[in-house]
Amino acid sequence: MENSDSSVIFGICLVDFHHKRGPEIEYWHGLPDGVKKDGLWTNLPFQALPDGSHSFEETFTYFTLLYDEDNHCSPINGATELSANDVNNYSTLFAISCSRQIKTDDLLTKDKDVTRSTVQKAIVVVFREPIFGQIRDKLSIVTNAYFLQHDFTDKQILVSLYDNLKVLYKSSSTEDISNSANRLYIGLCLRKVVHDFKKDVLILLKAMILEKKIIFYGSNVEYLCNLQFSLISLIPSLLLDLRDSGSPLTYKDISKMERATSFKSSDRKSVLKFLGLPLQIFQKGGLFSPYTPLQQVDDIKSEKTNFFVVGSSNSLLFERRDELCDILVNVDTLSLEIINKSLDGPLQLTGHDKKWIESIVAIVEETWNENDDETPKNSQFKGSEDFIRWQFEDYITGLLSSVKLFDYVNSNKDNPVALQSIPQDYLNLNPWSLYNIHWVNMWETTRNYEIFNKLTDDRLFDLFVPKHAYNGVDNFVIFQQKLISAFQNLRKHPSTDAPSNKSIEDEQVSKVVSNGNTVDNEKKTHNDNEPIPKENVWSSWKDYFNRKKIKNNEDATCLNNDTNDTANSVISKGSSNNSKKTKNDDNTTNTNLQQNSTRKAIENALLGLGLHRDNHQRDLNESSDDDDNNESFSSAKVNQDESFSSKEQEKSSNFIPRDENSNSDSMTADDLILTEDEKEEYVVPDDTTKTDK
């Protein structure tokens, strides 16, 4: 018992699987002074020798332990039954175990209690910081060497391991570990996690931030534990702040926390603190237990445990998943199941979320190295563990800034002066919606959001741009934003004034073509003393349709200029014999042409918004319209006077607007027929009227 309370390495123990009593602690070394070995962490043997470990040659397990720093003891009745007077004395320690087994016949010295054909033991190292990756390889070597002795009575190698670790991780090195978070990332398989779970990685991260009950289940215990620590490492600096994660009763006093008012851009720790990181996702009511044996089920079922992240290899927890958890992660099948269906909406990934995580998954798969899960091809930075972690840090930074903007806009919705201080681009983009507004609303009900909101400035978005990490262009989002902006303008201004007298006069000047002659309409002017009439918003659409129609009429009239007289003569004779039939046909033709003109105008308007109609469907629609038009014009032609000469019929056939091979977009002389509303807007010269007669 030569260890001091401030040492990083807490102690080393040996766990044995007794064939009658089950797993039990056989030996301790290096415990701090005053610690009683008897009754210390009664669940530790079950955590060190997990269910199913006998199926593997070597098994690693990561787990957490609660320790009373003042009374030098562990909880008596579990993590949820702490004394109210001593609850503030407890802190969370971390442990890693390496278990192996050997045939009884290979042992040089056999204990009298050894009655089975194999002997299974585990060496456990307990420490104050989650330095699993830095200890794992060394622990594996020592455990293998201990079994190669074929004599478990010789424990000198355990003493040597403790002495070596104590030198490497002195009490003064704790600050170095905290300042260099990268050292805590050693041994985490983040690349493999992204490769295996793909977009579910982002769903799990957002679920943990929402403080939900999550169980990780699988037979590969090491990967099970590694997966959880890898996900936690995606939240910057969280691995350094897990001292209160071992019990739902331990938490930080928010009243004693102070808001950061400044930061140094050269000091990463200062920047993260100003951002409110790390998010305190394991505060009051939360529990983190990377490996949870069946003996600890009461801790996760307790009413005091509101949310948790736990792992287990016991099938009983898997079978009871519906009553125990909100989300189940099956490590064996690499799948995620949302048990609580109320989370389907909040955990739905947005379009930006999907494209962002898919881009990261694609990079990992492109650089995947079959021989090394942790290192990408050619040892490049892109696709590496650090690369992935930086991408998620950008995502979280944009998320926090966007939510702060969302809160500021809502709290100042009745204060136009405050809203004017926000860049208009921020308001137009609505960046918080890119993270799923349902998720944002649910997050704002959590304990970790309450702490984040208290520790960060209300205008955090002034220093950190509120945006989504995905930088690609989403055409649908652009159209949606334009549409929302248009309706907002309509809501604010149901009717808009004309921009100016000059623009009104310019727009009211139109040209009408008849028999090759182009004339200008009279300008409609207003007296300076008369008020300018208000123009309805939708009149601009009507003008757009009419201008489009007049333009097409000009082209059609020019092409048929030489045949207009003959055509008018033919129509005049035909109308004397079939006036009623021709009138109906003209109405049908006029309606079809107006529909075509309207459809083309709508298509052009949609193109202006960045959308287009499906070409195949458009061709089908236009083909159908052409068939209808051809039938109506054919019936009109059959009913014409049979006394027409072949020459006159030949001339008149040139005037027929369309035949079966004509283009649906071509315009004819009948397009010059104006509706009653159009006649009121456009002034037709007298000479045109005479010609028509």
* pLDDT tens profile 184-204: 899 999 999 999 999 999 999
- Token pair for residue 575? 């109308």
* pLDDT tens profile 663-692: 444 444 444 445 555 444 444 444 444 444
Collapse the DSSP code of 102 into the 3-class scheme (helix H, G, I; strand E, B; otherwise coil) and give the result. strand
Residue 232 has pLDDT above 50, yes or no: yes
Collapse the DSSP code of 257 into the 3-class scheme (helix H, G, I; strand E, B; otherwise coil) and give the result. coil
Residue 316 has pLDDT above 60, yes or no: yes
DSSP state, 73?
Answer: B
Task: Give the Cα separation of 228 and 288 in Å (integer).
Answer: 9
Nearest to 79 by CA among 301, 251, 249: 249
Residue 48 has pLDDT above 70, yes or no: yes
Higher pLDDT, 109 or 29: 29
Collapse the DSSP code of 519 into the 3-class scheme (helix H, G, I; strand E, B; otherwise coil) and give the result. strand
Residue 113 has pLDDT above 50, yes or no: yes
Counting beta carbons within 10 angstroms of the beta carbon of residue 258, is it exposed (0 to 12), middle (13 to 18) or buried (19 or more)? exposed
Asked if 80 and 110 count as a contact pair (C-beta separation under 8 A), the reply is no
Side-by-side strand order, sheet with 327-330: 286-289, 307-312, 213-217, 327-330, 335-338
- The count of residues in the chain is 693
R_g over Cα of the chain: 39
Asked if 304 and 285 count as a contact pair (C-beta separation under 8 A), the reply is yes
Residue 373 has pLDDT above 80, yes or no: yes
| pLDDT for the residue 254 | 85
User: What's the pLDDT band for 109 if we cut at 50, 70, 90?
Assistant: confident
User: What's the pLDDT band for 490 if we cut at 50, 70, 90?
Assistant: confident
Asked if 98 and 139 count as a contact pair (C-beta separation under 8 A), the reply is yes
Strands 286-289 and 307-312: parallel
- Token pair for residue 407? 């809160």
Asked if 162 and 126 count as a contact pair (C-beta separation under 8 A), the reply is no
Task: Give the Cα separation of 634 and 653 in Å (integer).
Answer: 11
Residue 630 has pLDDT above 90, yes or no: no
Residue 312 has pLDDT above 50, yes or no: yes
Nearest to 140 by CA among 172, 200, 96: 96
478-492 b/e with 16+ CB inside 10 Å = b? eeeeeeeeeeeeeee
Collapse the DSSP code of 19 into the 3-class scheme (helix H, G, I; strand E, B; otherwise coil) and give the result. coil
Higher pLDDT, 314 or 658: 314
Task: Give the Cα separation of 591 and 130 in Å (integer).
Answer: 77
Q: What percentage of the chain carries pLDDT values higher than 70?
A: 67
Residue 51 has pLDDT above 60, yes or no: yes
Omega before 278 cis (within 30°)? yes
Mean pLDDT score across all residues of the chain: 79
| pLDDT for the residue 566 | 46
- Token pair for residue 421? 């201080």
68-91 b/e with 16+ CB inside 10 Å = b? beeebbbbeebbbebeeeeeebbb
Residue 347 has pLDDT above 80, yes or no: yes
Residue 513 has pLDDT above 80, yes or no: no
Confidence (pTM): 0.69
User: What's the pLDDT band for 57 if we cut at 50, 70, 90?
Assistant: confident
The residues, ordered by sequence, that sit 6+ positions from 529 with a Cβ below 8 Å of its Cβ are: none
Residue 273 has pLDDT above 70, yes or no: yes
Task: Give the Cα separation of 296 and 285 in Å (integer).
Answer: 16
Collapse the DSSP code of 79 into the 3-class scheme (helix H, G, I; strand E, B; otherwise coil) and give the result. coil
**Residue 383, number of CB atoms within 10 A of its CB:** 22
660-672 b/e with 16+ CB inside 10 Å = b? eeeebeebbbbbb
Higher pLDDT, 467 or 581: 467
User: Which region among 40-44, 122-126, 310-314, 520-524 has the lowest average model confidence (pLDDT)?
Assistant: 520-524
Residue 359 has pLDDT above 90, yes or no: yes
| pLDDT for the residue 5 | 59
Strands (E), 449-571: 495-496, 511-514, 517-520, 535-536
Q: What percentage of the chain carries pLDDT values higher than 90?
A: 55
Task: Give the Cα separation of 612 and 311 in Å (integer).
Answer: 50
Average pLDDT estimate for 281-294:
96
Residue 344 has pLDDT above 90, yes or no: yes
Tell the CATH superfamily of the 1-185 domain. Longin module (3.30.450.200)
User: What's the pLDDT band for 323 if we cut at 50, 70, 90?
Assistant: very high
Strands 307-312 and 495-496: unpaired
User: What's the pLDDT band for 581 if we cut at 50, 70, 90?
Assistant: very low
Task: Give the Cα separation of 189 and 373 in Å (integer).
Answer: 7
User: What's the pLDDT band for 606 if we cut at 50, 70, 90?
Assistant: low
The residues, ordered by sequence, that sit 6+ positions from 615 with a Cβ below 8 Å of its Cβ are: none
Whole-Å CA distances, 247 to 155, 300, 377, 443: 33, 10, 41, 22
Residue 648 has pLDDT above 50, yes or no: no
Ordered DSSP codes for 266-331: T-HHHHHHHTTPSP-TTSTTEEEESS--GGGHHHHHSTT--EEEEEE--HHHHHTHHHH-SEEEET
Q: Any long-range contacts for 79-87 (C-beta under 8 Å, 24+ apart)?
A: 79/246, 79/247, 79/248, 79/249, 79/287, 79/289, 79/296, 79/299, 80/247, 80/248, 80/249, 80/298, 80/299, 80/302, 80/304, 80/305, 82/247, 82/249, 82/250, 87/249, 87/250
Residue with tokens 């909040």: 346
Beta bridge pairs of residue 217: 312, 330
CATH 3.30.450.200 domain locations along the chain: 1-185
* pLDDT tens profile 131-187: 999 999 999 999 999 999 999 999 999 999 999 999 998 864 445 554 567 788 999
User: What's the pLDDT band for 476 if we cut at 50, 70, 90?
Assistant: low
